[in-house]
Structure 1
Amino acid sequence: MNTPLSLALDARRVRAITIDLDDTLWPIWPTIERAEGVLAAWLTAHAPATAAKWADPVALREVRNQMHLTRPDLAHDLSALRRESIRLVLTQSGDDPALAETAFDVFFAERQRVELFEDALPALEWMAKRYPVVALSNGNADVHRVGLGRHFHAAFSAREFGVGKPDARIFHAAADAAGVRADEVLHVGDDIDLDMVGALGAGMQGAWVNRGGLAWSHATLRPHVTVVDLMALCRELG
């Protein structure tokens, strides 16, 4: 596995943990693909013109991605981007755009049905017994709806907070919620730019969860520790 040299993790300094959700606690794309399938079935039953015109989930996903360009005011809110993309294709297909609200609710409910990585739950249980753990996500998963709320001291999403990672403000808000300084937080996540560069820029230590054996791509910054899964991180924290 091609991993970077890591800074030395100072476990003694860690008084709280912030942790990413998608692709850190569960794989996101199987969840999204299943939710898109449920949405497509709902559209077939309730908006057949839209279902016929946008039968390919990839095409509908591309509309959602294009919303980043047409609605930059919603860039931090993946729920709103998805809802408005549904509203757009309903309108273009001649179906009632008011159906977008219910259609999104159907998608969103399925999006909360995640399948955890095998190490995620035991690691969360271990961490929560020792530290305040704060969820920190740019996505729209709800830790309570996915059944993990009891392990979290608090949860921050870009949608609710107004800005997302790598903006230092959301990291600092999470540290405040845990009642510690930023330099007393270990942030855990899989994304090099959003999680690691963001956390390091906010003054935190960073633990890169590199499940796929990826190469580190940042030229100047590196994480304090790189692990293949969350139980390996627990062993590092000891």
Structure 2
Amino acid sequence: MTDHRLELARIRAITLDLDDTLWPVWPTIERAQAALVAWLAPQAPRAAALANNRSAHLATRQTVLAAHPEITHDLGAQRLYILRHMLTQAGEDPALAEPGFAVFHEARHRVELFDDALPALTALAERYPVVALSNGNADVTRIGIGHHFRAAVSAAQVGVGKPDARIFHAGADAAGVRSEEVLHIGDDPTLDGHGALVAGMQFAWINRLGAPWPPGTQAVQPHAETRDLAQLLELLDAA
């Protein structure tokens, strides 16, 4: 646990990353993709095989983004367009894209929260307005934790994603405070850390894996570094 220069008196609101901060994202995505493949297999087996092939998925994503740069920051739209493209490529019904995406999206919201996430979120929401700030497409209301949040801001809504300072400013606006009055909490030193610091926020790094701060960025440090959200709460209480 490290407190570099956390200024508790400055904090009037929290912006909070979701994926890999409140829950591990890749097991969730893998389960959602498996649910999609299982749904597709009986009615679009060739597209199901493509959807189950990581290399094919990445190649299709590149093709889709080249044709539709306007969805670069909308992961949900990307999934839908990729699925439609795969169905078309496989010679199967592209109308299956919308219901197929609904299957994926429903499973994507069956997350398994870290043990420290819900107690910490409850405690933070009792003290500050909390705004979800994510590049992803998780809906905190569908997950069942929406009542802890003042608002949710996503890259798809703003049109830019982290680390662009504009999404952080949008998060501060949603909380009703100035950016310098926000503590941003997240797991990614670049997307969360660099973006928050450039936007003028304080940044608390949730470093669950004990990773080193990225080389070449030693001049910019998080205001706090903890192994989990429970430890961050201890730090906020002691600050």
Paired amino acid for 2:129 = P
Paired amino acid for 1:171 = F
Deviation at 1:220?
2.6
- Contact 1:63–1:85 (CA<8 Å) still a contact in 2? no
Tell me if 1:62 matches 2:58.
Answer: yes
Hey, which bits of structure 1, 4+ residues long, moved more than 6 A? Answer: none
- Contact 1:6–1:222 (CA<8 Å) still a contact in 2? no
Q: TM-score, normalised by structure 2?
A: 0.93
Which of 208, 212, 221 is equivalent to 1:211? 208
Alignment of 1:149-188 (within 5 A): 149-188=146-185
Tell me if 1:236 matches 2:226.
Answer: no
- Contact 2:129–2:149 (CA<8 Å) still a contact in 1? yes
2:83 alignment partner in structure 1: 86
Tell me if 1:13 matches 2:3.
Answer: no
Paired amino acid for 1:166 = P
Supply the distance in 1 between the matched residues of 2:60 and 2:180 (Cα, whole angstroms).
37
2:96 alignment partner in structure 1: 99
Paired amino acid for 2:137 = N
Paired amino acid for 1:136 = L
Deviation at 1:169?
1.3
1:77 alignment partner in structure 2: 74
Deviation at 1:65?
4.1
- Contact 1:31–1:113 (CA<8 Å) still a contact in 2? yes
User: What SS does the corresponding residue of 1:188 show, helix, strand or coil?
Assistant: strand
What do the CA deviations read for 1:22-78 (whole angstroms, capped 9, x no partner)?
0000000000000000000011022123224x2634235324542444432211000
Tell me if 1:31 matches 2:28.
Answer: yes
Higher mean Cα deviation, 42-51 or 80-89?
42-51
Higher mean Cα deviation, 65-74 or 190-199?
65-74
Supply the distance in 2 between the matched residues of 1:64 and 1:141 (Cα, whole angstroms).
22
Higher mean Cα deviation, 107-116 or 164-173?
164-173
Supply the distance in 2 between the matched residues of 1:88 and 1:225 (Cα, whole angstroms).
44
Deviation at 1:176?
1.4
Supply the distance in 2 between the matched residues of 1:209 and 1:159 (Cα, whole angstroms).
24
Paired amino acid for 1:119 = D
Supply the distance in 1 between the matched residues of 2:158 and 2:106 (Cα, whole angstroms).
21
Supply the distance in 2 between the matched residues of 1:91 and 1:75 (Cα, whole angstroms).
21
- Contact 2:60–2:85 (CA<8 Å) still a contact in 1? no
Give the length in aligned residue pairs.
234
Deviation at 1:94?
0.3
- Contact 2:125–2:148 (CA<8 Å) still a contact in 1? yes
Task: List gaps (5 residues or longer) in structure 2.
Answer: none
1:191 alignment partner in structure 2: 188
- Contact 1:37–1:57 (CA<8 Å) still a contact in 2? no
1:136 alignment partner in structure 2: 133
Paired amino acid for 2:69 = P
Deviation at 1:114?
0.3
Deviation at 1:199?
0.2
Supply the distance in 1 between the matched residues of 2:222 and 2:123 (Cα, whole angstroms).
22
Supply the distance in 2 between the matched residues of 1:132 and 1:96 (Cα, whole angstroms).
45
Which of 112, 115, 120 is equivalent to 2:117? 120
